[in-house]
A and B are shown apart, each in its own frame.
Chain A
């Protein structure tokens, strides 16, 4: 689910940048550092704006200036039970992998409806029920997350298409 979230971050600036447009530089650095990262619980999708840049404080020893920046960001936190759209990246006999934006997820064969079977002879290999559902690399699928796990700098999820209205999006 997406949230608008107020966050805060310390940004340091090298002395050579000290000058009139310091605030722009700080904002730029913030965007660079933060956008598209995963904190472990959510992904920071984009930064809307910075609303509070504190006065710079020179760090003793290094001469870098440290700013505390308050900013508003759109974050995405995947929840268990959430339904997301994803693009299939890899298909094998055990199941298929897909990316929902920054989140890699896996749908195992157990969580695929029984009529959709793995066909290793097709090129490329695919899951298909020999009708409208063909899941191969590049297919858009709608899945429901049934478990997530966070690691440093990344998240993973297990998803299912074994429910109504889930699965291949191209047919519908």
Chain B
């Protein structure tokens, strides 16, 4: 109530007819003043136009006496005007100490004096409700406070936390610490100990939402909640260092139920739970809702960075917990779709995990069991893709605050949930998995007749092997330590500063008495955390390849933003300065990878390296993540002396190196020119192409089939095409390993001959070049080998089954095959580049970024 010494200063307002003369002061200092009560009389003169019945008009001077009514309640402190004074313009004229600042309001009532704040009268200057607009209470929507009040309670909070050596931690629920779904299959698995997933789901908790949950089919359904492994320990430890808040996009009833499961004694979260019912915005979360004044001591953990548009620097992004495969976040159906980092295929993941493991333990066996298992998680992945796209349909609505929209979105979520109930994606996935297991078992029996046939073993769909929370706990501990080190450092130096100013004797007293200064010196998490994070990848210069979908600016993509926040320097092109190239596992032979392969110091790793490094806040050893490079990519440039790769570090040498010694061909001139322009040194965005016209403009509508046919004729290798397609098909249909091997062996054989052909008969090559140049001047020819799996149009993100083939293929044994593959890949790459939209940036950012 006693906000300040001086009360509220009232001014006369601009609407009076100045100049005015103060004629009488109706109140004395110290008098009680009521709202709408007259406190001042003034007079002013004005001219009135009057007329008589005969149509004559003249002006007459009038003097009017008027009252000035108080707009506030309180005690009059001091007059700033005297009787008889002439006031020329709007000015402050009285100081009234308000009886109530109305700084806490509940549903339109002042929480301090009980007056109705929504009342307006002629005397009010502004709506009283505007005096308390900040909503900072977790579980209430209609309690608002004024800014001063908010600052005061926040200061109290900070002092308390500093005293306890704690920080605030805002915790997201879905996919961060738990994973929820309403798939009834989970319940069935839980009751059935023979189910392969029984182990994984047996500790899944469930509850029903009856009151304000979704309506319709999904009403009263069971929610299945899987806690992230190690959650209890994590929360127990972290709660010693942090005060925990829940901030979820679920409904309040949902949030409370989860809290009951996660924290039955209410020891961790207490009542500090905020849900979308109180959030006020269905698409974004904001720290300002809880900490309106100061977020210096707040850390967020969330699996989505995009819902925190204003608080990124306080955020620790957590790897989403995806236990119930393909379900996603049941409460995010109205959020914009998550910007996915291309998923690493489960098989690759496994391989890497094994490598890491092998490295740590020091023994590299186990590979045998892995082979079989590698296959089994992939179908789930496939169905995830399709599931996500189904989700996509329901998504992507911008959100405002308006009620109708909210209802609409709730309805959509309902639809989404109903879909889950009726379609039962998990059940289907498991069925599929079982089927494949069956197939595989048969295959193994057929192929390895001599070997012991193991028990037909049903593979489980759900895995319980997440360890993100361990890292997270480390980060939070580390962060807490860093923060309080900073704080203590600042405290000491502040003390020192005061010591210099004051006599030593007073020092201690002052510090205790006025706690004031130590809030100013409190370090800001938004600075401490980025500093810590930036150490992770400091000094690395990273180029990403195949990770960002076409048409997205690499530097603004989610993964790049993250990497930058971890201290990496992101480049769009490969150059000497680059230290790492992060390539998608599915596309390990992009132009960038091959460029990078020429620099021995550049480590070419897959995205898992980046993700793990960012998850662990520690640069991972690159070894297990290295992408296998075609020998050809490495060797070629050292073989060919004419390539200036080691002399200057621009990128022009990249494209023509592998041209089998034809790099100096005149025909390639224009290609190189345009390339040079695109790859100019510093530019994030390459310049426009010459004359603004793409050299491939006339390519649109070009019949590639003809070229293919022509080439087939030239190379005489139609059979090759067949076998290749065959192997791809068998791969994608998840055929047995045997068939895969046989086909690749076959191909190897053919490739050998093929390659001989191209090496010896360079005439053929020349012809081929001619064929391509004839139409385009570019070497954008789709060759029979590439025709099988990938179209000439670049597909963003992970697509191919070719991936598996590449990773598992036998290129190590066969340089010649590699040679040929490289050639084709490159051409394909170029084709992709040149067919992609004529604007140059797209080429750079999209396909290869």
Q: Quick check: A123 and B265 within 8 Å, CB to CB?
A: yes
Cβ contact of A90, chosen from B110, B139, B149, B266, cutoff 8 A = B139
Q: How many residues of chain B get a CB closer than 8 Å to chain A's CBs?
A: 32
With an 8 A cutoff between CB atoms, is A153 at the interface?
no
Q: Are B137 and A147 in contact (CB under 8 A)?
A: no
- Is A25 part of the contact surface with B, judged by Cβ < 8 Å? no
> What is the interface size of chain A, counting residues whose CB is below 8 A from a CB of the partner?
29
Q: Give the chain B neighbours of A108 by CB distance below 8 A.
A: 104, 106, 111-112
B735 → A minimal CB distance (Å): 59
> Could you say which residues of chain B place their CB within 8 Å of the CB of A157?
109
Bound Cα distance A49, B106 (Å): 36
A22 contacts chain B at the CB level, 8 A cutoff: no
> Does A91 contact B271, Cβ atoms closer than 8 Å?
yes
A94 pairs with B153, CB closer than 8 A:
yes
Closest residue of chain A to B144 (Cβ to Cβ) is A94
B145:A94 contact, CB within 8 angstroms: yes
Are B115 and A92 in touch, CB under 8 angstroms? no
Q: Is the interface of B mostly helix, strand, loop or mixed?
A: loop
B143 CB-CB contact with A under 8 Å: yes
Q: Min CB distance, A147 to chain B, in Å?
A: 2
Residues from chain A with a CB closer than 8 A to the CB of B237 are none
The complex places the Cα of A120 from the Cα of B111 at a distance, in Å, of 20
* B residues in contact with A146, CB < 8 Å: 113-114
Whether a CB of chain A sits under 8 angstroms from the CB of B157 is yes
Which residues of A are found within 8 Å of B110, using beta-carbon distances? 147, 158
Cβ of A29 within 8 Å of any chain B Cβ, yes or no, is: no
Which residues of A lie under 8 Å from residue B143 when comparing CB positions? 94, 97, 106
Q: How far is B252's CA from A90's CA once the two chains are assembled, in angstroms?
A: 14
Closest chain A residue, CB of each to CB of B150 = A94
Identity of the chain A residue whose Cβ is nearest the Cβ of B145 in the assembled complex = A94
CB within 8 Å for A90 and B109 given contacts A106-B143, A110-B1, A147-B115: no
Task: State the CA gap A90–B138 with chains docked (Å).
Answer: 10
Q: A94-B137, A120-B160, A123-B265 are in contact. Are A110 and B114 (CB under 8 A)?
A: no
Inter-chain contacts of B118 with A (CB < 8 A): 149
**What's the nearest-Cβ distance from chain B to residue A23, in Å?**
35
User: B742: shortest Cβ distance to chain A, in Å?
Assistant: 67
Alpha-carbon separation in the docked complex, A115 to B702 (Å): 86
Q: Given A94-B104, A94-B153, A95-B104: A125 and B271 within 8 A (CB)?
A: yes
Minimum C-beta distance from A119 to chain B (A): 10
B104 and A92 contacting across the interface, CB-CB below 8 Å: no
A63 CB to closest chain B CB, in angstroms? 30
Partner of B137 from the list A92, A124, A145, A151 (CB cut-off 8 Å) is A92
Q: Does chain B have a CB within 8 A of A111?
A: yes
Contact B270 A158 (CB under 8 A): no
A147–B117 Cα distance when bound, in Å, is: 11
* A123→B1 contact, CB < 8 A: no
When distances are taken between beta carbons in the complex, the residues of chain B under 8 Å from A148 are 109, 114
A145 to B271 Cα, complex, angstroms? 26
Query: How distant is A19 from chain B, measured CB to nearest CB, in Å?
Result: 34
Which residue of chain A has its CB nearest to the CB of B106?
Answer: A106
**A60 to nearest B CB, angstroms?**
34
Judge whether A149 and B116 touch: CB under 8 Å: yes
B112 with A93: CB separation less than 8 A: no
Interface centre among A91, A94, A111, A123 (most CB of B within 10 A): A94
Residues of the A chain whose Cβ atoms lie less than 8 Å from the Cβ of B106? 106, 108, 156, 158
Say how far A50's CB is from chain B's closest CB, in angstroms. 32
Cα A104 to Cα B107 with chains together (Å) = 10
**A80 within 8 Å of B (CB atoms):** yes
Complex Cα distance, B115 from A80, in Å, reads 10
Also in contact, A90 and B111, with CB within 8 A (given A123-B266, A156-B106): no
- Which of B104, B142, B267, B271 lies in contact with A110, CB distance below 8 A? B104
Partner of B156, one of A93, A125, A145: A93
Q: B432 within 8 Å of A by Cβ?
A: no
Q: Kindly identify, within residues 1 to 22 of chain B, every residue whose CB is under 8 Å from any CB belonging to chain A.
A: 1
A54, B223: Cα distance in complex, Å: 51
- Interchain Cβ contacts under 8 Å between A and B, 7 examples: A95-B111, A97-B140, A123-B267, A124-B270, A147-B114, A148-B109, A158-B109
Q: Which residues on A are within 8 Å of B, measured CB to CB?
A: 80, 90-95, 97, 104, 106, 108, 110-111, 120-121, 123-125, 137, 145-149, 151, 156-158, 160
Besides A108-B104, A120-B157, 17 more A-B contacts (Cβ < 8 Å) are A93-B153, A93-B156, A94-B111, A94-B137, A94-B143, A97-B143, A106-B109, A108-B106, A110-B1, A111-B112, A123-B270, A137-B271, A146-B114, A147-B110, A147-B113, A149-B107, A149-B109
